Amino acid sequence: MFTKAQELLASYFGYSSFRRGQDETIKNVLDGKDTVCIMPTGGGKSICYQIPALVFEGTTLVISPLISLMKDQVDTLVQNGISATYINSSISITEANQRIQLAKQGHYKLLYVAPERLDSMEFVDQLIDMKIPMIAIDEAHCISQWGHDFRPSYLHIHRILDYLPEKPLVLALTATATPQVREDICNTLGINQENTIMTTFERENLSFSVIKGQDRNAYLADYIRQNQKESGIIYAATRKVVDQLYEDLMKAGVSVSKYHAGMSDTDRNEQQELFLRDEVSVMIATSAFGMGIDKSNIRYVIHYQLPKNMESYYQEAGRAGRDGLDSACILLYSSQDVQVQRFLIDQSTGESRFSNELEKLQNMTDYCHTEQCLQSFILQYFGEEPKEDCGRCGNCTDDRESIDVTRESQMVLSCMIRTNQRFGKQMIAQVLTGSKNKKVIEFNFHTLPTYGLLSNRSVKEVSEFIEFLISDELIAVEHGTYPTLKVTEKGKEVLLGKENVLRKERVETRQIVQDHPLFEVLREVRKEIAQGEGVPPFVIFSDQTLKDMCAKMPQSDSELLTVKGIGEHKLVKYGSHFLQAVQHFIKDNPNYAETVKTEVVTERKKSGKASANSHLETYEMYKQGIDLDEIAKERGLSRQTIENHLIRSFEDGMEIDWNSFVPAEYESLIETAVQNAEGGLKSIKEQLPNEVSYFMIRAYLQFRK
């Protein structure tokens, strides 16, 4: 059956192979195993149930809380020649009944419904007359009371499994689930935890950054100006901020939409459609926007304010780059945002979840202050141990020298101990800056030796420094009505002078991508077709498909079929429009087109896949014999980023002399560590001296093969 699945992938979706995790999930399902699939946003979860739905006889039921996702996915499936529909509150009762009757007749391969439909026994009774081989549960984290988006209706799903005449297979899917949430999903749906398939949470095409201490409005205007041709989402915490940003950007001449719960359904839908159809480039919204938005060509997501937890942040940020192309996720941090989120938690959270929500907010704050790799921080939060730093986030590419802040750290920790570790960040900052605040005087803290030690700093600066120490795990926060700070074991080591503390400071606006001139031509062709058919442009072809078309410049149907995302159905439907556009471009740009095509074809013979330009530039300099430190200096990047470029170049099929990166004196040490290691790279690294880098280990493993 898996061979059949591969054939269907190629003919309907235009891909020659499954992505990481898709194959294992689909094999599990085709083998008749109830399964939990945890895969990051943009990882291709929908394929995991859409392909089995085509293999199985009958209609697969897809439970999704997201009306917009249902419509987008059904539109895309229908464009691919697959019979699918949805039933939700956006259609009339008459239309819903007609679709139910067609489903009973086996007309659809996939039927999408909202979980609330299953609360109605009248609707469940209708399902009895359908042949349902599988139930796919999207956004399965909504089952868990520990999840960030708990929905009680999800708890009723298991009832229909026993009610149907033949128990269908169950496939639960989510992009954001901590270990506790994963366990909840399995227990609620009765799925063996061994049948949990989890790919890495890492999104290799996303670069994460945190911007602090800058004028947010000025940063935003500059960023949008530099990336004006790209689609982006800007998230804000409140409706008021959304409205203000919308007005400001409109006045600045930016094509922009807005979306929040205070708008009417009609207004929200109109604004959303403008964005989905690429008629505006920027969407400003609260967290109400985006759940289930299947727009694949979002090049950046900027959080104007701090989100309330890591699950929400990663889900929202993950809406960037769903087509696999390089995209940016930027968080603009201000300390006052923590208070805004604390207020929102106070207003909307029951007592049983209050402490848990505050802890999640603290984790989000730690993310903003950490100086470790941001992608690694996210992976660790979701219970995944990163093999190495990503080499592309704001922290990894910040190559400025670190400053020794051990002495200042000791002042903070000492002040906490002298105040009996009974107070929060604000009080400690006030004591250290020599504040004459009434409470400071009442507690006699103005007589402490630590009083005024950081009087050259503001309370805000010291508070932010304390947040950095929290993120560095020198300080722990005990949550309650009033959060209190405690010195950790790691903090005690610093206090005793056994460990040093280093700190950096921040990042610049940059353009995300440089586009091929043909790309704009193809984008216009796509937009014209989409307008004619009344669907968003990404439903026709994704940006990734258009960029692969630019790389290959196909001039025949057979060449067009080699482009990622073009199957036989779309070839027949749209092929001639795009072939004509490519041919006109080649005619108008013969020299440019031939040069580009020759380079790409040569590269693809070696690599088998298209590559982003940045690592190729590094590779060219490496082939000229330039030292890696010199390349880093010339390109204005960190050494680690340059090393990652070489690794990526090698993975793309280019030749690297790995032996030259491993000093002879370390070879035997690394070999011994490799032999003794019980895990991956991290296990090897832990056995070696600090001067042996991850890159050196990877280089050794390559030339050892």
* Residue 189 shares a structural domain with residue 54: yes
* Residue 216 shares a structural domain with residue 260: yes
Give the domain range for residue 453. 403-503
Instruction: State the pLDDT at residue 570.
Output: 86
The answer, yes or no, to whether residue 703 has pLDDT greater than 90, is: no
- Each residue's pLDDT tens digit, 182-239: 888 898 888 998 999 988 888 888 999 998 867 788 889 889 988 988 999 999 988 9
The answer, yes or no, to whether residue 610 has pLDDT greater than 60, is: no
The answer, yes or no, to whether residue 594 has pLDDT greater than 60, is: no
Mean pLDDT of 297-305: 94
More confident residue, 487 or 156: 487
* Residue 149 shares a structural domain with residue 224: no
Mean pLDDT of 688-704: 78
**Is 372 a domain residue?**
no
The answer, yes or no, to whether residue 147 has pLDDT greater than 80, is: no
Quote the CA–CA distance of 349 and 332 in Å, as a whole number.
25
- Residue 434's pLDDT band (boundaries 50, 70, 90)? very high
Helices assigned H by DSSP within 87-234: 93-104, 121-127, 157-163, 179-189, 216-226
* Residue 415 shares a structural domain with residue 545: no
Here the CATH number for the domain that contains residue 538 is 1.10.150.80
Q: Is 480 in a helix, a strand, or coil?
A: coil
The answer, yes or no, to whether residue 509 has pLDDT greater than 70, is: no
* Residue 59 shares a structural domain with residue 186: yes
The answer, yes or no, to whether residue 661 has pLDDT greater than 90, is: no
Contact call for residues 38 and 198 (beta carbons, < 8 A): yes
Question: What is the number of alpha carbons within 13 Å of residue 421 lying toward its C-beta?
Answer: 12
* Residue 272 shares a structural domain with residue 311: yes
Here the CATH number for the domain that contains residue 295 is 3.40.50.300
Could you give the angle at the alpha carbon of 198 between the alpha carbons of 193 and 204, nearest 5°? 170
Instruction: State the pLDDT at residue 652.
Output: 62
More confident residue, 98 or 695: 98
Lowest mean pLDDT among 43-52, 218-227, 264-273, 670-679: 670-679
* Residue 60 shares a structural domain with residue 119: yes
**Is 579 a domain residue?**
yes
Domain stop point among 308, 327, 351: 351
- Each residue's pLDDT tens digit, 259-300: 998 999 889 889 998 998 889 999 999 987 876 577 889 999
- Each residue's pLDDT tens digit, 374-420: 999 999 888 888 888 888 898 888 766 677 899 999 999 999 999 99
Contact call for residues 86 and 111 (beta carbons, < 8 A): yes
* Residue 582 shares a structural domain with residue 648: no
Domain count, the chain: 5
Nearest to 55 by CA among 73, 30, 27, 78: 30
Containing 551, the helix (H) or strand (E) segment is helix 543-552
Mean pLDDT of 10-27: 89
* Residue 186 shares a structural domain with residue 68: yes
Mean pLDDT of 335-346: 78
Lowest mean pLDDT among 165-179, 187-201, 415-429, 595-609: 595-609
Lowest mean pLDDT among 243-257, 440-454, 640-654: 640-654
**Is 601 a domain residue?**
yes
* Residue 189 shares a structural domain with residue 53: yes
The answer, yes or no, to whether residue 507 has pLDDT greater than 50, is: no
